Amino acid sequence: MSGRNAVVFCSASFDIDEKYNDLARDVVRTLHGCGYGMVSGGTVKGTMKVIADEARSLGMEHVGIIPVFMKGMEYSDASRLVWTDTMSERKEAMRAGTCLAVALPGGIGTLDELIETLTLAKIGRYPGKIVAFNLDGFYDPLKALLDHYVATGMLDARSRGLVSFPTTLEEFAACIQ
Ligand code: AMP
């Protein structure tokens, strides 16, 4: 991929409120409008399919990274698919070459991807911006946990500040410029 690329972490679930998928489409459109290409988990599950469909309809460059054991679940209309052996390699490959990591509201897989990225940024191993879209307070419990870590000395305030929690598309657009 050439140019600026963003990795998007999001839900693999079909059983979520449609407002999260509407947000996902808006986020992809905003990324595209700001000149980003997209990297995703590359499957046809849940919000991952929603963002892949949106990228395809926009003609946006979209690379899907998928472990070989998920063969049959791949989003075959991605610009490119990259196969990995493990979930850990997948996370590494998803982040590679990106200058922005976006976590949409998601489950434990999304949380794992977000926290691993933040941990790497803390030790200087992820150079990009990190944004968790806090739609309707979805990430308020995580914000509170991170603040608790800072208050107890478990996390330094600088590292806490490496992740932004926009609540609107306008705030999101400002975060990713
Ligand atoms: P979750 O947030 O728990 O729905 O997990 C979705 C995120 O974790 C995605 O960004 C994927 O990269 C990864 N993931 C976890 N489980 C799956 C799955 N069954 N199929 C595809 N991706 C998954």
Cα(28)–Cα(54) distance, rounded to whole angstroms? Answer: 7
Give Dmax over CA atoms of the chain in angstroms: 47
Provide the token pair at 23: 């947000």
Task: Centre a 10 Å sphere on the Cβ of residue 30 and count the other Cβ atoms it contains.
Answer: 17
Q: Please tell me the residue having the least CA distance from ligand 1 atom 17.
A: 12
Candidate from 7, 8, 11 with most ligand 1 atoms within 8 A of CB, to mutate: 11
Q: Check residue 76 and report its DSSP letter.
A: T
Candidate from 38, 43, 62, 83 with most ligand 1 atoms within 8 A of CB, to mutate: 43
Burial tier of 24 (Cβ tally within 10 Å: 0-12, 13-18, 19+): buried
Domain residue ranges of the chain, discontinuous segments joined by +: 4-176
Residue of 131, 83, 118, 105 whose CA lies nearest to 23: 105
Q: How far is CA 147 from the centre of its chain?
A: 21
**Given this model, what pLDDT does residue 2 score?**
67
What are the DSSP calls for 97-166, one per residue? Answer: T-SEEEEPS--HHHHHHHHHHHHHHHTT---SEEEE--GGGTTHHHHHHHHHHHHTTSS-HHHHTTEE--
Q: Please tell me the residue having the least CA distance from ligand 1 atom 10.
A: 9
pLDDT in tens, 124-136: 999 999 999 999 9
The answer as to CATH 1.10.150.50 being correct for domain 4-176 is: no
pLDDT in tens, 13-42: 999 999 999 999 999 999 999 999 999 999
Pocket lining for ligand 1, CB < 6 angstroms: 9-13, 41, 43, 45, 70, 106-110, 113
Indicate the pTM of the whole model. 0.96
pLDDT in tens, 130-153: 999 999 999 999 999 999 999 999
Confidence of residue 3 (pLDDT cuts 50, 70, 90): confident
